Amino acid sequence: MQNMLWSALNVGLFIGLVYIFFRAAKLVKQHIGWLAAVLFVVGLTIIAGRPANSLPGNDNLLPGIPKDAPLGNASTQKLVSLGSTNDLNLLAEYHQQNGLVRPRGLYATVSGFWLGHSWQPVTGLLEQRGSQLYYTAVLTHRWNLLGVPVFSQTTDFNGFMPIKSNI
């Protein structure tokens, strides 16, 4: 519910700013002329169109795994709900031999769309516990207001994934 209200606030503010933007452009055109109105619109578009800073992505969440390490011979995946329409998709890759699992990679993506929210995978853990894999994925959730980060929180998601046979 909080996510939906925050998204509604972002949409409302955006619509309000667009309205003010066009009213200001109309006022500039009335009092100064077309050329000034065009320069005003171009200037505001350039200022508003700056890309937001983002953290660099981390493909493999497991620390200490070299990028050129060989691929695993088995994998499993898990879908975790982040609330509303957003889901955390986890893919675990591992070497499996004689019932022993050696983790090779943990990959995370977030699907879904909400205005004013962004999730970024930070790090993770993957280990065998009996006949299942135990995972921990740490994500940073940013609350943005018109693209500007206002608040961020780090949350860890953990649970079990089934170990699939590598027939």
Q: What is the DSSP string of 84-146?
A: TTEEEEEEEEEEEETTEEEEEEEEEEEE---TTEEEEEEEEEEEEETTEEEEEEEEEEEEEET
Give per-residue pLDDT as tens, 46-89: 665 544 444 444 478 888 887 777 778 888 999 988 777 778 89
Amino acid at 102: R
Two tokens at 54? 């983002």
Same domain flag for 100 and 35: no
**Is the residue at 118 inside a domain?**
yes
The label of the residue with tokens 């994925």 reads 137
**Is the residue at 62 inside a domain?**
no
Give per-residue pLDDT as tens, 92-135: 999 888 888 888 889 998 887 667 778 888 899 999 998 899 99
Helix or strand or coil: residue 4? helix
**Is the residue at 44 inside a domain?**
yes
Same domain flag for 146 and 104: yes
33 vs 105, residue with greater confidence:
105
Same domain flag for 86 and 133: yes
Same domain flag for 91 and 148: yes
Q: Which residue range forms the structural domain that includes residue 116?
A: 74-162
Beta bridge partners of 152: 142
**Is the residue at 61 inside a domain?**
no
Domain count of the chain? Answer: 2
Same domain flag for 79 and 158: yes
Same domain flag for 35 and 78: no
Same domain flag for 44 and 84: no
Same domain flag for 84 and 156: yes
pLDDT score for 138: 92
